[in-house]
Amino acid sequence: MPLWGRAVESQKKMPGLVDRMAVEIINKIDYDFTLFERKMNWVSQFSWVARSMHVDKTILEFIKKNPKATIVNMGCGLDTTFERIDNGQMMFYDLDLPEVIHLRKIFFQENERRKTISSSFLENKWLSQLQGNEDILFIAAGLFYFFDKNLVRDFFITIANYFPGSELFFDIASPLGIKLANKKVLKNSGMNETSLLKWGIKNPKLFEKWDERIQLVKEFPIFEGLKTGLPFKEKCGVWISDLLKIMSMVHLRIKEG
């Protein structure tokens, strides 16, 4: 769905994000995207674009300070972030389950600075494959709310144990956002109950209670800063979404020492 959302956006007259690779992939992949076209509303489609725009901006800011940083894209799916933000110096890892990585390799090539890892993010073994232990940014788009909250908490604590000083940037949904996503988005796309989102959070400050080393850097509604230039009807839709904090972006830092 995010791949489709970026491809649709890229073909608009005034796109918020241009992702030519996404357009190329949906034209080649053996999947019927007409179901999305019939049932997905504009806000859902633009939310995937907004999320990618915030991820791109955050990575670009991070590698501006740390040009040789390590970026870990967890639950990457058919994500195309690297194509949009590569600075020619950073190390970039795409992480997902083996069957997903197998599909990715049809469209993406590895090189000395871009690697794929076949694993669930919940398995600790893959952490030893990361070549850089300093200046690490973990990103996760559309990932954590599909898993039990306690598993996600344990993962954050593992990251704190392995990579003090690292940062994490990801999206969250409020409890209302979880209900709406499960009812309006996932079921409309034909997915079964095993694909439903599992938990939402109202106040991201609660992440700090999971472990004293976890520090909330910032959090903001997913459409923040992206409303300018939108038609009135669409602007109202994203304004209401942000007002209710349906979806938000969260930036965490792991304290050292």
| pLDDT at res. 223 | 94
Task: Count up the domains in the chain and report the number.
Answer: 1
* pLDDT tens, residue by residue, 184-241: 655 565 555 667 889 999 999 999 999 999 999 999 999 999 988 888 888 898 999 9
Mean pLDDT over 146-167 rounds to 96
| pLDDT at res. 131 | 77
Q: What is the SS3 assignment for 32-73? A: CCHHHHHHCCHHHHHHHHHHHHHHHHHHHHHHHHCCCCEEEE
SS3 of residue 84 by DSSP? helix
* pLDDT tens, residue by residue, 13-28: 888 899 999 999 999 8
Residue 9, domain extent:
2-254
Query: 96: domain CATH number?
Result: 3.40.50.150
